Copies of this chain bind each other. A is one copy, B any other.
Amino acid sequence: MTIPMPTPALEAYLDATAERRLARYLDLLRIPSISGIAEHAPDCRRAAEQLAADMRAGGMEHVEASETGGHPIVYADWLHAAGAPTVLLYGHYDVQPVDPLDEWEAAPFEPIVRDGRVLARGASDDKSNVSIALSAAEAILATRGALPVNLRFVFEGEEESSSVHLEPWLTANAARLTADVALVADSGFFAGNMPAITVGLRGLAAAEIHVTGPFQDVHSGVFGGAIENPINALASIIAGLKGPDGRVRIPGFYDDVVALSDAERTAMAALPFDEEALRAELDVPALVGESGWTTMERRGARPTLDANGIWGGFSGEGSKTIIPGRAHAKITCRLVANQDPTRIFELLRDYVMEIAPPGVRVEVVAMGGGRPTLTPHDQPATRAFARALEATFGQAPVFVREGGSIPVAASFESILGLPVTVMGFMPPNGNFHAPNEWMDLGNFETGIRALAAFFDEFAAHPGG
């Protein structure tokens, strides 16, 4: 199979416009589009408007900042590649908050360029991927007058504040969002800055457990020994959910888990990963988890059960000798394909009720969730993107499973019925969500070439 390379004309255009392109990216970074902080709502709108203007200038059509009830979704398309496949490319223009401010080397919204890096909030997550996508489309349109594929851009402004308006918007606009693949451009490279494609994202099932004992906090001397203690009961419930081997004990919990293939395990084992560095970074005595799996497998390809919070009784200074009336915990399970959040909640609830000790009343409340995604390595867009990465970065990508969740990836699958390829060019350890976020300008520039190559490659081989 021929691996496409950037054409001389495209390369010449990109060379000639590098300075202007960097300036436009830095301008976007100067807008403090923090979606989770209300006073930055006008900044989010400014970022959306700048993106819309840039897309219009770059030759995209039907550009709009679409109202959602929250921050706008910026939409644009170019649909003149008759007979060619259609790519929907998703990114987000909003960013995380910046505290603790005093740990930044420079003001987070005054980007500085140094040693081939751009330092700013959003430099990688996700204004890098958004800017790369814009630049790739613009360069092709400028040099050829046409794209090899049909293209839709969907740039969200609420990814960092839980995307509440995205699913309704996708549902409302499903008819006009036809495509052959959704590229979720919100990911990055692997350790050592290796090109990577994210093939797995975990889902989530959340619950609260409420344990009720006596009608109010009662005297632990007068009643101690006569009644069950809600905290002790809750502890025994939580302890009962996992064995000392780290395995979740809920019957049926693992039933729908898609087994890792030997090839996947071999591939994961071959990835560079420094366990001791992770242990030291987190400052824990040891890395532990479900027996029979490596740390990388446990983080990306195995489901988990974690208590996120627990409270009950007296937590002030000193002692208060009570048996509390109530105790509570928040529990979340990270899910992997093909676990269903609703089914997992029901299994959890039923098992909690089964192991709850007598003498207390127990209630388990669903707190929502999200589906996991697992992309086949061999779907056409993923294969095309892999070849484009190898051609431009000189190295075949690794396929990684991320432990976190990008719920929107599952939304494109479930609402639009699209296969999803999760990709992007952020450097590993780019300090996303943390002080001193940065982007590698080499990834940025080569990323533009990689995406352009992907469009050509996917147009040439839409079936894989």
Contacts and interface: CB of A to CB of B under 8 A. Distances in A.
Nearest to A231: B307
Interface string A310-349: 1111111011111110011110101000000000000000
Interface in A416-447: 433
A281 B221 CA distance: 16
A220 B309 CA distance: 12
B235 A221 contact: no
B229 A306 contact: yes
Contacts of A225: 289-290, 295, 298-299, 302, 304, 334, 403
A313 B299 contact: no
Interface stretch (A11-19, A51-59, A352-360): A352-360
A394 interface: no
Interface stretch (A110-118, A171-179, A238-246, A382-390): A238-246
A258 interface: no
A270 B92 CA distance: 75
Contacts of A329: 231
Interface stretch (A41-49, A82-90, A143-151, A211-219): A211-219
B242 A295 contact: no
Given A219-B404, A225-B302, 10 more contacts: A220-B334, A222-B404, A223-B403, A225-B289, A225-B304, A225-B334, A226-B278, A232-B238, A318-B367, A319-B367
A316 B298 CA distance: 28
B232 A282 contact: no
A209 B361 CA distance: 26
A221 B284 contact: no
A224 B289 CA distance: 9
Contacts of A235: 234-239, 307, 310
16 contacts: A220-B332, A221-B404, A221-B405, A224-B306, A225-B302, A226-B289, A231-B308, A232-B307, A235-B236, A286-B358, A288-B357, A307-B313, A308-B314, A309-B324, A310-B311, A311-B312
CB-CB nearest 9 A-B residue pairs: A221-B404, A225-B298, A239-B239, A309-B313, A235-B238, A231-B307, A288-B359, A309-B314, A224-B304
A148 to B, nearest CB: 35
Given A324-B309, A357-B288, A359-B287, A222 B299 contact: yes
A224 B218 CA distance: 37
B309 A215 contact: no
A328 B299 CA distance: 26
A288 B236 contact: no
A218 B279 CA distance: 13
Nearest to A355: B244
A106 interface: no
Contact of A285 (B282, B295, B360): B360
A214 B282 contact: yes
Nearest to A290: B225
Most buried by B among A310, A311, A334: A310
Identical copies in the complex: 2
Contacts of A404: 219, 221-222
A127 interface: no
Nearest to A334: B224
B334 A308 contact: no
A372 to B, nearest CB: 11
Contacts of A232: 238-239, 241-242, 305-307
Contacts of A319: 206, 308, 330, 332, 367-368
A308 B289 contact: no
A227 interface: yes
Interface string A396-419: 000000111100000000000000
A206 B317 CA distance: 13
A139 interface: no
A39 interface: no
A228 interface: yes
A324 B310 CA distance: 10
A152 interface: no
Nearest to A228: B288
A262 interface: no
